[in-house]
Amino acid sequence: MNDIGLGRVLLTAVVWLAATSPVWGADPLRVAVMDQQVVIEKSKAGNRALEELKAYSLTRQKIINSDDQELKELEQSIQDPNLSDAAKQEKQNQFQSKLEAYQRRLADFNREIQQKQRETVAEYSKKVEDAARVVAQREGYIAIIDKGNEAAIKIVIYHQPALDLTDQVVKEFDKQNK
């Protein structure tokens, strides 16, 4: 289980224990939910970050497409029947060398993009957490749990719609990250 999944399970257990424990006294405990992915997608700052990631990926994809086209052209030139055996061998060597460089570049770009995505997720998760904390403190909640979605681990099976603070967190997030 990854750190995020373990953290969510622990948070759920803590909230459940807190809600069922008599130590907290007579005050009702308030817990809410939000969808972190929606906060990022609906917020201005989150959209900017997603667009930056998309642009970053597209620039690398253009380079890969250009390299791919160059390889195709070189491969076609090898098929020229007018080439001497020496010229054909030279072009095959050149093709092999370019193919290896292409494969290295593709792997490097994939690693770069994945690293950039991880960094962005970490940065924006922290920012969403900060916005959620402000909303929770302002509204008197002891916890806000990320309800997740179909693409990620879904922790919250059911909640009353009134407990969903996603829109409030989006507003706070935008306020903090202009």
How is residue 133 written in tokens? Answer: 């904390």
Rg (CA), the chain: 26
Domains assigned to the chain:
3-176 (3.30.910.20)
Q: Report pTM.
A: 0.70
Q: So what's the pLDDT on residue 26?
A: 53
pLDDT, one tens digit for every residue, the chain (178 residues): 555 554 555 445 545 545 555 544 556 789 999 999 899 999 999 999 999 999 999 999 999 999 999 999 999 998 888 889 899 999 999 999 999 999 999 999 999 999 999 999 999 999 999 999 999 999 999 999 998 777 767 778 788 889 999 999 999 999 999 8
Give CA–CA dist 77/122, Å, rounded. Answer: 47
Number of neighbouring beta carbons within 10 Å of residue 135: 21
Going by C-beta distance under 8 Å and a sequence separation of 6 or more, which residues neighbour residue 151?
37
Give CA–CA dist 170/41, Å, rounded. Answer: 9
Residue 143's φ and ψ, nearest 5 degrees, are: -160, 150
